[in-house]
Amino acid sequence: MRIGYPCISLTLKNQYPSTFRLKSYSESRFNETVKNNLDHLLSVLNFNKRNKVYFFRISSDIIPFASHPVCDIDWSNTFEEKLEEIGDSL
């Protein structure tokens, strides 16, 4: 049987997505948060792979406000290389 867990690894320290309130939204805050979240996601996925955990639900907080009208950043292009690195690590 293959088992997994949703969103947050309790084994790894500080390996959960960060977010912030809409009130404090800025392009720099968004970019910094997403970069850190993607770095953390990659380390969680690598941990899962090493430990043969084959199911993991990625939190929607990885890219905060991605679908909100306030976000006018083309985040899929901005983080294309990191997203490809994450995909290639699987």
Q: Say which residue the tokens 């690894």 belong to.
A: 9
Helix, strand, coil shares, percent, the chain, to 5: 50, 5, 45
What tens digit of pLDDT does each residue of 53-75 get?
Answer: 888 888 888 999 999 999 999 99
* Those residues with Cβ within 8 angstroms of residue 30's Cβ, 6 or more apart along the chain or in another chain: 64, 65, 71, 73, 75
Is residue 1 pLDDT above 60, yes or no?
Answer: no
User: Is the overall model pTM greater than 0.95, yes or no?
Assistant: no
CA angle 13, 16, 17 (to 5 degrees): 145
* Residue whose pair of structure tokens reads 């901005």 in the numeric block: 78
